[in-house]
């Protein structure tokens, strides 16, 4: 099978690593890819939102399966665009159309969807410039802290959590006034949910689903969850506090009603769903939906898939998920993200990375890297993720940290406490 994967981060390297193991693979292309994917596949320099160039490439290379990694092309309607191209009638696509991707593209849509289908989530009100006063009154009925969310995609920056009511009311006005551009011309005000965050990943063909596992990521730059938010500094799968009772609730109250809700709404959703959840004393509620895999969560979820990923993805794209073989590894998988000093603020690019050859019994997934004259250079804030298996959580973490010691680049930074907060659930 000839496959094109869109994206160029650690998520895509992890997907490519698994796809490359499939006996069904004939040729894998990745646009744009990175230095890690270049070893497994052919990198193609096309931007993920250049739909016209992607369509032409698919025709030229006779691609049979397209997998969309990041959310931007999905929310912008890549599936609809390609399906309208009569040269591409046989193309199989993993990733929802615009009608499904709006679950991530509009927080207001996602909240209405959850309300309509009885899926547990925080109470909310959606505000536009026409009902600011009502929005400010709604804020006054809530307990602090106050949660304000830009409705649209805002590069992960559109959520504000504010302790003071007056400040929240002022911020509401500023958001509606264009603080996050078009993304915040509507603002969702939410009740604050208490508990511990956990993510659950599933894949669906619109009728059936498979749960790929739970994961926890570490979003803050600093140890002990301090400092600025990042794209994610490490991850663990599965999450030890997600016991069978919790997992049963997630499936029955959230995953199944979501897939059934999509069906009831006439949305033919074929792709990944990322459920961002809060666990409040054993009861899950949805914080957000994403219509893609997480990064770095993919770097711990995909290594635990024991069966052929291409079989699973083809079954997803063609509506035959019920027939696909599916099994997960019992072991834990953990990952530690190595980042450039200064990230998530200003950081250098183009520094040489050494020591990759000395890594043993871990998988290094590249994120922001590029190949130049045979050398691997840093090319982003998040540079690479070191993933390891373990029969115990502690064992997996030790293995990742052991191999982190081998890798070096100028001003490398990483968190030393990934997974430490979870050890109390396994001891």
Which residue, 190 or 297, is less far from ligand GLY as judged by CB? 297
CB of 422 to ligand AMP, least distance (A): 17
Length of the chain: 427
Does 104 participate in binding ligand GLY (rule CB under 6 A)? no
- Residue from the set 88, 132, 165, 192 that interacts with ligand AMP by CB under 6 A: 192
Which residue, 100 or 232, is less far from ligand AMP as judged by CB? 232
State how far Cα 4 lies from the chain centre: 19
Touching ligand AMP, residues 245-304 (CB under 6 A): 276, 287-288
Could you give the 3-state DSSP secondary structure of residue 107?
helix
- Binding partner at 121 among ligand GLY, ligand AMP, none, C-beta below 5 to 8 Å by kind: none
- Between CA 307 and CA 98 the distance in angstroms is 29
CB of 232 to ligand GLY, least distance (A): 4
Helices (H), 122-243: 132-141, 165-174
Nearest to 273 by CA among 250, 288, 246, 292: 292
Between the CA of residue 360 and those of 240, 273, 374, 388, what are the distances in Å? 26, 32, 21, 10
State how far Cα 301 lies from the chain centre: 11
- The DSSP string of 204-238 is E-SS-EEEEEEEEE--EEETTTEEEE-S-SEEEES
Which residue, 151 or 308, is less far from ligand GLY as judged by CB? 151
- Residue from the set 295, 314, 343, 422 that interacts with ligand GLY by CB under 6 A: 295
Nearest to 322 by CA among 214, 205, 211: 205
- Binding partner at 294 among ligand GLY, ligand AMP, none, C-beta below 5 to 8 Å by kind: ligand GLY
Touching ligand AMP, residues 210-229 (CB under 6 A): none
Does 196 participate in binding ligand AMP (rule CB under 6 A)? no
Tell me if 36 sits within 8 A of 359, measured CB to CB.
no
Does 232 participate in binding ligand GLY (rule CB under 6 A)? yes
Does 238 participate in binding ligand GLY (rule CB under 6 A)? no
- Between CA 37 and CA 30 the distance in angstroms is 7
- Between CA 93 and CA 268 the distance in angstroms is 12
Residue span 118-157 as binding mask against ligand AMP, x where in contact by CB under 6 A, dash where not: ----x------------------------x-x--------
Identify the burial level of 60 via C-beta atoms within 10 angstroms of its C-beta, where 0-12 means exposed, 13-18 middle and 19 or more buried: exposed
- Binding partner at 197 among ligand GLY, ligand AMP, none, C-beta below 5 to 8 Å by kind: ligand AMP
- Binding partner at 147 among ligand AMP, ligand GLY, none, C-beta below 5 to 8 Å by kind: ligand AMP
- Binding partner at 295 among ligand GLY, ligand AMP, none, C-beta below 5 to 8 Å by kind: ligand GLY
Backbone angles phi, psi at 308, to 5 degrees: -65, 120
Does 421 participate in binding ligand AMP (rule CB under 6 A)? no
Between the CA of residue 374 and those of 12, 38, 371, 377, what are the distances in Å? 21, 11, 6, 10
Which residue, 154 or 404, is less far from ligand AMP as judged by CB? 154
Number of residues counted as binding ligand AMP (CB under 6 A)? 11
Does 294 participate in binding ligand GLY (rule CB under 6 A)? yes
CB of 347 to ligand AMP, least distance (A): 22
Task: Kindly state the tokens that stand for 68.
Answer: 């969309």
Does 190 participate in binding ligand AMP (rule CB under 6 A)? yes
Sites of contact with ligand GLY (CB under 6 A): 217, 232, 290, 294-295, 297
Sites of contact with ligand AMP (CB under 6 A): 122, 147, 149, 159, 190, 192-193, 197, 276, 287-288
């Amino acid at each position: 099978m000839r496959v094109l994967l869109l994206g160029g981060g650690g998520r895509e390297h992890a997907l490519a690593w698994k796809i490359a193991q499939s006996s069904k693979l004939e040729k894998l292309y990745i646009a744009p890819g990175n230095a890690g994917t270049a070893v497994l596949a052919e990198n193609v320099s096309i931007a993920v939102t250049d739909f016209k160039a992607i369509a032409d490439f698919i025709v030229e290379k006779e691609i049979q399966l397209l997998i969309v990694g990041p959310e931007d092309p999905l929310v912008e309607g890549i599936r609809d665009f390609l399906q309208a191209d009569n040269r591409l009638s046989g193309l199989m696509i993993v990733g929802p159309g615009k009608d499904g991707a709006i679950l991530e593209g509009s927080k207001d849509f996602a909240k209405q969807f959850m309300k309509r289908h009885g899926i547990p989530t925080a109470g909310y009100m959606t505000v536009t410039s026409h009902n600011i006063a009502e929005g400010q009154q709604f804020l006054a009925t809530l307990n602090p802290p106050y949660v304000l969310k830009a409705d649209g995609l805002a590069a992960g920056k559109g959520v504000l959590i504010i302790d003071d009511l007056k400040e929240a009311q002022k911020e509401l006005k500023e958001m509606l006034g264009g603080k996050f551009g078009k993304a915040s011309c509507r603002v969702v005000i939410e009740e604050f949910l208490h508990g511990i965050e956990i993510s659950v990943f599933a894949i669906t063909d619109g009728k059936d689903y498979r749960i790929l596992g739970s994961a926890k990521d570490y979003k803050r730059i600093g140890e002990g969850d301090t400092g600025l938010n990042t794209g994610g500094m490490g991850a663990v799968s599965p999450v030890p506090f997600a016991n069978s009772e919790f997992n049963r609730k997630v499936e029955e109250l959230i995953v199944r009603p979501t897939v059934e809700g999509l069906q009831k709404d006439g949305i033919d959703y074929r792709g990944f769903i990322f459920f961002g959840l809060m666990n409040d004393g054993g009861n899950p509620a949805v914080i957000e939906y994403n219509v893609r895999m997480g990064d770095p969560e993919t770097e711990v979820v995909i290594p635990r898939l024991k069966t052929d990923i291409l079989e699973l993805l083809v079954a997803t794209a063609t509506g035959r998920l019920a027939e696909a073989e599916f099994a997960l590894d019992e072991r834990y998988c953990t990952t530690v993200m190595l980042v450039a000093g200064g990230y998530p603020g200003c950081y250098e690019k183009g520094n040489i990375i050494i020591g990759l050859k000395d890594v043993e019994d871990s998988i290094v997934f590249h994120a922001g890297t590029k190949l130049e004259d045979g050398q691997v250079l840093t090319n982003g804030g998040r540079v690479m993720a070191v993933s390891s298996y373990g029969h115990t959580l502690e064992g997996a973490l030790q293995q990742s940290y052991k191999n982190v010691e081998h890798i070096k680049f100028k001003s490398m930074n990483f968190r030393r406490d990934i997974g430490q907060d979870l050890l109390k659930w396994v001891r």
